[in-house]
Structure 1
Amino acid sequence: MTRKVALVTGGSRGIGAAIAARLAADGADVVITYARSADRAAAVVKEIEAAGVRGLAVEAQAADAAQLVAAVERTVAAFGRIDILVSNAGIAPYGPLEEVRLDEVDTTLAVHARAAFVLAQAAARHMRSGGRIIGIGSSLAERVPYPGWTLYAMSKSALIGLTKGLARDLGPRGITVNLVHPGSTDTEMNPADSPEAEAERGYTALGRYCDPGDIAATVAHLAGEGGRNITGAAITVDAGTTA
């Protein structure tokens, strides 16, 4: 990926930080967005630069379309191009169906579905042949084994249709579009030592959580030369939760 430029949203922690580090290790310059912690974002940029490539952190709220477009434009202004877009930023709304508020529905759809559309639209204006757009979905888009996750599952399922549509729109230009569905992954949002973790392991075929690096490895494959003929696909990395 030498001389490629990647933008990873939500790249200051968890899966996003792992993806940013992996793309940097593979030779790409990497821009990350963050919503709150400038210090953590700066630490990720330092790790990116330790790989011998360029890094940049841009503050951008995933629910704010204008800020997302600005992040794409900032990437192009700073590094001259954008080759890889990873729409990773997300939230995890959870609770009984009867208690879900309409503003929570609007925010969740904005952060997951609208943001991915806005980012893809903005990045596509600058991408050349060989560009890669990769969304981060969820295994809950394929199977919801426990209650309380209806809103989250709905918002992530929207990315399946978006991925297929974008693949058709951008395929003639040589740009691939794919989706990675993580299962239970050991992050701050869902730590492997939480009270609920043992139950989540019980839903997997392998009896274990994923590591953020597992997701990053799949993203790196899709972003690299090995992914040049994969488009419109959803790849699940979930230790067998959907098996």
Structure 2
Amino acid sequence: MTERSASGLVLENVRISLKGRILVDLSLGVAPGRVATVMGPSGSGKSTLLAYVGGFLEPAFTAEGTVLLNGTDITRLAAHRRHVGILFQDDLLFPHLSVAGNLAFALPERVRGRAARRQRVEDALIEIGLEAHGERDPATLSGGQRARVALMRVLLSEPHALLLDEPFSKLDATLRAQIRDLVFAKARERELPVLLVTHDPADAEAAGNHVVSLSSP
């Protein structure tokens, strides 16, 4: 892996094509604790870009360019070795696990011992205001509560960058603003560079930083 000096998330000359049609052609940098927003209509390549950064781009696409995270070239690493967390439109909580079980699933292997892992989960629940919900079935939670659990599950995995694939789009306006502010605040606290894709100008305005627009397909 190549070591570079820049911190944060850096995309150098990233170009992604499908059947000869260029979807994405850009370079950008996202500093720790900041948010870069990629906007565009459906089919413009927003989620495809996240898939390339995260390491799970479908083989049907042709891609080139470099992805650097805190100075390390992660372009060719497997997804699980990139230390990149992602939130999708759906919370994707495991229905067969309790809320606490969902959170414990994300803990790194280095957190050893039942008591230590339980304490990490309890602290996480307190951090998102759900300290009494550990034994709940995720299906019994409200949309906002599920979004909080999904966020904390990603953060417990200790990512070095955060990708947001329109995770606020299914929430009502009030709840959308609350969860969006929470996500951005937690990213700032942990100094995580954030790459957000959205079609909503309100998301870009709330992010308050660099905006890249992708054209229609």
TM range (shorter): 0.3 to 0.5
Q: Which has the higher contact order (CA 8 A, sep 6+)?
A: 2
Say which structure is richer in strand: 2
Say which structure is richer in helix: 1
TM-score normalised according to structure 1 size: 0.30
